[in-house]
Structures are given as C-alpha cells and as structure tokens.
Amino acid sequence: MVDLEPSELDLRKQIRRAFQQTLRKCQGLGYTVRMVSLVEVLDTFLELYKQTMDRVQAKESYYFDRDYFLSLARLPGVHCCVIESGSTVLSASVFFERNGIVNTHLGGTHIEYLSKSPGIMAMFEVMLWCRSSTSTNCHPEDATIRPQIVTRESNVSYHRVLEEFHKGTGRGTILNTSLNIHGEPIVSSPDDAVSVMQRSGLHHLALGYYLISKPAVQKLS
C-alpha cells in the first residue's frame, strides 16, 4: 500500500526506482497529464483501446463497443486520465472512484509511444489525485485497487461483515489481500492459515465460525 499523506516528493520515493526513472523521462519529454471526463476524450480513448487490444491479441470479448463506454461515462465516480504531448493523446486510462477506493478499469497507449511508457505518468497522477480526493490507499505498482462486489446472494456471511463494517466506519469497503507470507503459496488449509498467523503480524484469524486471536503481548517495562 502507498501512504498518500506525505508530500509529492516523498510520494515519489514510494514508487519503484525503475518507475521513477520512466516518470522523469516522460516529464523531460514534456508529456502532460490531465484527469478528464470519459466523454470528453471518448473517440480518442476508443482508438487507443482498440490499438492496445489488437496489439495484445485480446479475445473478442474484450472489444467493448461505443455504447458500453458511453454507459460507463454516465456512471458516478468514473474518470479518465490522459497523457498528452501537445495536442496528441499518448495514453488514456479509465478509473472508478467509490467509497474511497480507486480501481483501474481499461486503458490504452498509442503504439508509436509504447517504448516511452507514458502510462507510468498516469500512475503517479492518480496517486496525487487520490490524495486530494476521498481515496486513502493505492497499490504501489499501479496506484489502483481492483474491487470485488459482494452481494447478499453471492456470500451472505461476508456481506454481513461488510454491513457491520459500514455501520461502524461509514465505509462499505474492506481492503482484502491474499492470505500467505511473501514468497509462499496462498493458504489452502486451516493448518496453513494458523501457520501464517503464527509467523506474521496478524493478530486475529477468522476461520469458518471461529475467531482465533493471539494472546496479548505484554510490554516489558
């Protein structure tokens, strides 16, 4: 996770060194970044998106039509980050912002500018934008979080957890990550889960209908 409270200079230090170099290179080339409405750049976005899907030989299901993006643009919390060189849009990405969570959805980069990696500028701009909005956390690699929607029908117990969390905090989202220690496989049994808890900084573990907690650690005076 990235702490968005520090200054812009300190935020840069949280980005991987390779990304910092690319960011400086793009800024040196005079590329600029804007957060705009998707409708404003829809035609350009569609062109860049199609170029990208063609380049990666995406499946047909990834070729969303214009009506899909028009419907998307009407939703609250939908934004588009564009990287430009003069009047030319080099890269564009669509983001969702909801309940303090920012999620990257779809994007594309002009094929002639791929080697410059202009999309890295979008990552940093979104971090700054997150800090000035209600968002408080971003993934360090791409400055986004990818949400999963939980309905009562799909998972009644976890939906109840979300409801109670919302009552207590005013936020209907919970930050979730894989249960494993870095470099190890994701847990696949209760024994694995307890082992991870014992060897990590976790204080509590919800396992089925049981809540397992570590004993309180007494500080030595």
Segments making up each domain of the chain, as ranges:
2-138, 156-213
Q: Identify the CATH number of the domain defined by range 2-138.
A: 3.40.630.30
DSSP helix/strand/coil, 200: coil
User: Quick one: average pLDDT of 153-168?
Assistant: 86
Q: Which of 112, 125, 175 is nearest to 19 (CA)?
A: 125
DSSP helix/strand/coil, 89: strand
**Model confidence band, residue 174 (pLDDT cutoffs 50, 70, 90):** confident
User: Quick one: average pLDDT of 120-124?
Assistant: 78
- Cα distances from 61 to residues 47, 53, 58, in angstroms, run 17, 10, 8
pLDDT of 92 over the 90 cut: yes
Q: Which of 73, 70, 127 is nearest to 102 (CA)?
A: 127
pLDDT of 211 over the 50 cut: yes
**H or E element at residue 108:** strand 101-109
Q: What is the pLDDT of residue 18?
A: 58
* Mean pLDDT score across all residues of the chain: 80
pTM of the model: 0.54
Q: What is the pLDDT of residue 220?
A: 43
User: Quick one: average pLDDT of 84-90?
Assistant: 92
Phi, psi for 214 (deg, rounded to 5): -75, 150
Q: Which residue has the tokens 């494993």?
A: 180
Lowest mean pLDDT among 90-94, 117-121, 125-129, 145-149: 145-149
Q: What is the pLDDT of residue 2?
A: 47
